[in-house]
Amino acid sequence: MDRPRREIGTRQWGFTLIEVIVTVAIVGILASIALPSYRNQVMRSNRSAVQGYMLNVMNRQEQFRLDTRQYFTGCAPFSAGCAAPNNLLTVVSPP
């Protein structure tokens, strides 16, 4: 049984199934390696942003204490979007 020969000058375009499977496998392996590293970088970035925010809050709290000799306590701890009017400001004297 002879295999049919291709004529010279004819060219087939496309990829074989094996080539596609190997490519998908390689991309999957690279993704499984890169995903944990990416998640760690995102977590470290978020941690740095929160540390910067907390330093800003600390500096503002200390500035308020220096101006009024009392700490600002108008907001419940960890509440977002606190906007207490000036006349409702509750303060605590430092120990």
State the pLDDT at residue 71: 82
DSSP H or E stretch at residue 3 = none
Other C-beta atoms lying within 10 Å of the C-beta of residue 91:
14
State the pLDDT at residue 1: 58
State the pLDDT at residue 13: 82
- In sequence order, what E strands does the chain have? 71-72, 91-92
Query: Across residues 79-88, what is the average pLDDT?
Result: 52
> Could you tell me the residue ranges of all domains in the chain?
17-92
Mean pLDDT, the chain, as a whole number?
79
List residues bridging with 71 in a β-sheet: 92
State the pLDDT at residue 76: 56
Query: Across residues 24-32, what is the average pLDDT?
Result: 96
State the pLDDT at residue 55: 92
The pTM is what?
0.49
Contacts of 92 by beta carbon, 8 Å cutoff, 6+ apart: 70, 71, 73
